[in-house]
Structure 1
Amino acid sequence: MSMINDRRHFLKWVAAGIGAAALPFASMAYAGDAPRRAIFLHFPDGMRPEHWHAQGTGTNFILPRMTAPLERVRQHCVFLSGVDMLGSGSSHEGGVLKFLTGADGRGSDKAVSLDYYLAQAFKTQTIKPHLNLNIVPVWDSAGVTFDSNGLRVAPEPNPLVAFESLFGSNANNNFIAQRRLNAMSNSLNELNALRSKLGAVEKAKLDTHTESLRELEQKLNANVGACAAWNFNPTGFKVTRTGFWSNPEYRDQHQMGVISSLQMDVAVHALACDLTRVVTLTWGHSVNEAIIVGSGSGQTCHQASHGGGEDFIKIKAWYTEQLAKLIEQLASVPEGNGTLLDNTVIFVGSDLSNGGWHNHTDMPFIIAGGKNGGISGGRSLHFTATPHNKVLVSIAQFMGVNINSFGNQDSNPGVLPGLVG
Structure 2
Amino acid sequence: MKKHNLHSYAMTRRNALKTLLASGFSKALLSSSPLISGLLLSRQAQANTLPNKSIAIYIPGGGIHDMWAPSGSGSNMVMQAMSSSYESVKTDCNFLLNMNHTNAGHGQMPRILSNSWSGSGVDSYDVYMGKQLGAELPFTYVNLGVHSNGKGYLTRDGNTQIPFEDNPFTAFKLLFGANTGGSAKTPILDAHADAVNSIKNQLAGYEVERLNEHLDAISDTQRRLDDLVGSSSCSAAPDSSEFNLTFDTFSQQARLQADIAVAALKCNITRSVSIAFGNHQCEFRIPELNYTGSYHQSIHGGSNGQANYPYYTEMRNHLGSFTAYLIQKLKDENLLNSTVVIETTDMGHADKHSSVDVPLMIAGGGSAMFRGVSTPTGGQYNQLDALHTAAAVCGVNLPYGQQIPGVLT
Cα distance, 1:6 vs structure 2: 5.5
Cα distance, 1:70 vs structure 2: 1.0
Question: Aligned to 2:387, which of 385, 392, 396?
Answer: 392
Q: Residues 327-346 of structure 1: matches in 2 within 5 Å?
A: 327-333=327-333, 339-346=334-341
Structure 1 position 93 matched with structure 2 position 93 = no
Structure 1 position 291 matched with structure 2 position 285 = yes
Question: Aligned to 1:127, which of 120, 135, 138?
Answer: 138
Output the CA distance in 1 between the equivalents of 2:105 and 2:122.
Answer: 17
Output the CA distance in 2 between the equivalents of 1:400 and 1:134.
Answer: 27
Output the CA distance in 2 between the equivalents of 1:416 and 1:112.
Answer: 21
Q: Which residue of 2 aligns with 1:355?
A: 350
Q: Residues 142-181 of structure 1: matches in 2 within 5 Å?
A: 142-149=152-159, 151-168=160-177, 170-173=187-190, 175-176=191-192
Q: Conserved in 2, the CA contact under 8 Å of 1:142 and 1:284? A: no
Cα distance, 1:107 vs structure 2: 4.2
Output the CA distance in 2 between the equivalents of 1:320 and 1:132.
Answer: 19
Larger radius of gyration: 1
Q: Conserved in 2, the CA contact under 8 Å of 1:49 and 1:354? A: yes
Cα distance, 1:277 vs structure 2: 0.5
Q: Conserved in 2, the CA contact under 8 Å of 1:141 and 1:154? A: no
Structure 1 position 231 matched with structure 2 position 220 = yes
Q: Residues 264-283 of structure 1: matches in 2 within 5 Å?
A: 264-283=258-277
**Could you state the TM-score of these two structures normalised by the residue count of structure 2?**
0.75
Relative to 1, partners in 2 of residues 1:364 and 1:178: Cα closer, same or farther, differing over 3 Å? farther
Q: Which residue of 1 aligns with 2:312?
A: 312
In terms of mean alpha carbon deviation, does 120-129 or 361-370 score higher? 120-129
Q: CA deviation digits over 1:288-342, x for unaligned, max 9? A: 1111113321221111112361110110111111122111111111xxxxx2111
Q: Residues 247-266 of structure 1: matches in 2 within 5 Å?
A: 248-250=243-245, 252-266=246-260
Q: Conserved in 1, the CA contact under 8 Å of 2:113 and 2:125? A: yes
Structure 1 position 66 matched with structure 2 position 82 = yes
Output the CA distance in 1 between the equivalents of 2:387 and 2:300.
Answer: 29
Output the CA distance in 2 between the equivalents of 1:361 and 1:30.
Answer: 41
- Tell me which amino acid in the other structure corresponds to 2:174: S
Q: Residue 343 of structure 2: SS of its match in structure 1?
A: strand
Q: Which residue of 2 aligns with 1:18?
A: none
Output the CA distance in 2 between the equivalents of 1:304 and 1:39.
Answer: 28
Structure 1 position 378 matched with structure 2 position 372 = yes
- Tell me which amino acid in the other structure corresponds to 1:342: N
Structure 1 position 325 matched with structure 2 position 314 = no
Cα distance, 1:58 vs structure 2: 8.4
Output the CA distance in 2 between the equivalents of 1:359 and 1:177.
Answer: 53
- Tell me which amino acid in the other structure corresponds to 2:81: R
Q: Residue 231 of structure 1: SS of its match in structure 2?
A: helix
- Tell me which amino acid in the other structure corresponds to 2:111: K
Q: Conserved in 2, the CA contact under 8 Å of 1:59 and 1:379? A: no
Q: Residue 81 of structure 1: SS of its match in structure 2?
A: strand
Relative to 1, partners in 2 of residues 1:300 and 1:126: Cα closer, same or farther, differing over 3 Å? same
Cα distance, 1:343 vs structure 2: 1.0
Q: Conserved in 1, the CA contact under 8 Å of 2:144 and 2:166? A: yes
Cα distance, 1:179 vs structure 2: 5.1
In terms of mean alpha carbon deviation, does 382-391 or 28-37 score higher? 28-37
- Tell me which amino acid in the other structure corresponds to 2:408: V
Q: Residue 366 of structure 1: SS of its match in structure 2?
A: strand
Q: Which residue of 2 aligns with 1:364?
A: 359
Q: Conserved in 2, the CA contact under 8 Å of 1:34 and 1:343? A: yes
Structure 1 position 416 matched with structure 2 position 404 = yes
Q: Which residue of 2 aligns with 1:194?
A: none
Relative to 1, partners in 2 of residues 1:108 and 1:275: Cα closer, same or farther, differing over 3 Å? closer
Output the CA distance in 2 between the equivalents of 1:265 and 1:288.
Answer: 23
Relative to 1, partners in 2 of residues 1:360 and 1:274: Cα closer, same or farther, differing over 3 Å? same
Output the CA distance in 2 between the equivalents of 1:142 and 1:180.
Answer: 40
Q: Residue 93 of structure 1: SS of its match in structure 2?
A: coil
**Could you state the TM-score of these two structures normalised by the residue count of structure 1?**
0.73
Cα distance, 1:390 vs structure 2: 2.5
Output the CA distance in 2 between the equivalents of 1:118 and 1:161.
Answer: 23
Output the CA distance in 2 between the equivalents of 1:303 and 1:282.
Answer: 19
Give aligned pairs, total.
349
- Tell me which amino acid in the other structure corresponds to 1:259: Q
Output the CA distance in 2 between the equivalents of 1:346 and 1:220.
Answer: 26
Cα distance, 1:386 vs structure 2: 1.4
Q: Conserved in 1, the CA contact under 8 Å of 2:61 and 2:316? A: no
Q: Residue 380 of structure 2: SS of its match in structure 1?
A: strand
Q: Residue 73 of structure 1: SS of its match in structure 2?
A: helix
Output the CA distance in 1 between the equivalents of 2:207 and 2:244.
Answer: 33
Q: Residue 313 of structure 2: SS of its match in structure 1?
A: helix
Structure 1 position 31 matched with structure 2 position 47 = yes
Output the CA distance in 1 between the equivalents of 2:207 and 2:137.
Answer: 10
- Tell me which amino acid in the other structure corresponds to 1:236: D
Relative to 1, partners in 2 of residues 1:163 and 1:72: Cα closer, same or farther, differing over 3 Å? same
Q: CA deviation digits over 1:149-195, x for unaligned, max 9? A: 2x32111111111111121164434x35865998x9xxxxxxxxxxx
Taking only aligned residues, the RMSD between alpha carbons, in angstroms, comes to 3.5
- Tell me which amino acid in the other structure corresponds to 1:230: S
Q: Conserved in 1, the CA contact under 8 Å of 2:151 and 2:280? A: no
Percent of residue pairs identical: 22
Question: Aligned to 2:150, which of 140, 150, 153?
Answer: 140
